[in-house]
Amino acid sequence: MLTLFNTLGKKKEPFRPVDENVVTIFTCGPSVYQRSHIGNFRTFLFEDTLVRYLEYSGYQVRRGLILTDIEDKAIDEAEARAISVKDLTDENIKRFTQEMRLLKMKIPDYMPRASEAVDESAEIIERLLKLQIAYRNDGNIYFDPLRSSGFGKLYGLDMTKWPAKPKRFHRDTYPGMRWNFGDFILWHGADGETKAPSWETKIGKGRPSWNVQDASVIYRYFDQSLSIYCGGIDNLIRHHDYTLAILESVRPYPAARFWLHGYHLIVNGEKMSKSKGNIYYTDTLLEQGYDRAEIRFFLIYGHYRKKLNYSKKTMDTAAQKLRRFKDRVRRIEGIASQAEADRDETEKVKAVFSSKMDEDLDVKGAFDALNELIKEKDRSDLSPEKAAGLTEGLRGIDEILRVLY
């Protein structure tokens, strides 16, 4: 049985979907004020692997992913480049979808822009105002965590240390990995400025904050608890607890049964940043001579709950490992020719793979176990039927890995 590490509870749990007929998943998408780098794609690829493995295991999956196209960062970046927010985000969304296809990622069932769910944001905020969990101040609207039952339970906040005197945080995001102990913004009221996009809604003119946007898209497309909510580990501070609190304030059921968080990719032991000049894109790796399968393999091979270090050495090691594996597979395929597959061999391959993947998506363990199996078979006198069985099993597995064919 598949077990997953649930951030809500901080332990591995047997996976059981909310609805046995369909697994619902929501994943935080890119903030499209800038281009997504390979660290971002590491998170998106862990989520892609999860979706593919669930489908391989027999589940039907319905997934949503949000494109964050209205936030302070997008407005600031568009102003700095003297273009509209829409032109800026259109450019980055187009590139993002191209790179999704490059890396053979499944396109989610729903992939709306945040700007397409403004009405849902306004409806949620209106309800929060009526519940007196949200309030107006100087044209903006804020969420008061002290009025929300169980706030901070995902991260594990000690709410006894939360200040009783209101302190308001006005921006969508703040630098650093620390908590803002105060009320967070839900709605930026229009104040006459022309550079920020705004909408006329039932709660007034303005724009939704970043921290209500995920909730708005979930509110629009999913009408029960999600089976799984995914994102990067940085979303565990000042974001996912906000989304959880918003949804559970306006709905009488949990936001999600499982919360999964992928860890960072670092470069030569350091965090990626513009100031260090160490931000890498898929283009960078393609220009270095790696193909798209090798890029995808490198980004999914390390366990999603461990930091992954990119360096020339680690990238070369992963690429060479994949190349050797593919060489062995080609030799086995050559033996298989047009033979009828030996089902026992197919099931053996599947069992070796699934035994590791069922342990919290251990892609590395699963691939290494397959590698040992294929290495052993490559050295033996395989019959065409057994070779065909192995090949059939590997083709099925590659619907998840997407690095062999």
pLDDT tens string 63-95: 999 999 999 999 999 999 999 999 999 999 999
The H or E element that residue 154 is part of is none
Domains of the chain from N-terminus onward: 3-262 (3.40.50.620), 294-401 (no CATH)
Say which DSSP state 264 is in: P
Rounded Cα gap, residues 399 and 31, in angstroms: 28
Q: How confident is the model at residue 104 (pLDDT cuts 50, 70, 90)?
A: very high
How much of the chain exceeds pLDDT 90, in percent?
A: 93
Q: pLDDT digits over 307-364, tens only? A: 999 999 999 999 999 999 999 999 999 999 899 999 999 999 999 999 999 999 999 9
For 227, list phi and psi in degrees, rounded to 5: -70, -40
Q: What is the pLDDT of residue 379?
A: 74
In which residue are the tokens 């565990």 written? 236
**3-class state of residue 143 by DSSP:** strand
Q: pLDDT digits over 352-395, tens only? A: 999 999 999 999 999 999 999 999 887 778 999 999 999 999 99
Angle at which helix 240-250 crosses helix 210-221, to 10 degrees, equals 50
Tokens at 281, concatenated: 């894109």
DSSP E strand stretches across 21-116: 23-27, 61-65
Is residue 138 scored above 80 in pLDDT? yes
Rounded Cα gap, residues 39 and 187, in angstroms: 30
Nearest-Å Rg of the Cα atoms of the chain is: 23
In which residue are the tokens 């607890």 written? 241
Q: What is the pLDDT of residue 174?
A: 94
Q: How confident is the model at residue 133 (pLDDT cuts 50, 70, 90)?
A: very high
Segment 54-59 shows an average pLDDT of 98
Q: What is the pLDDT of residue 306?
A: 97
Residue 364 burial (C-beta neighbours within 10 Å; 0-12, 13-18, 19+)? middle
What is this structure's pTM? 0.96
**29: closest CA among 62, 61, 69?**
69
Cα dihedral 171, 172, 177, 181, rounded to 10, equals 60
Rounded Cα gap, residues 237 and 218, in angstroms: 20
Rounded Cα gap, residues 73 and 76, in angstroms: 5
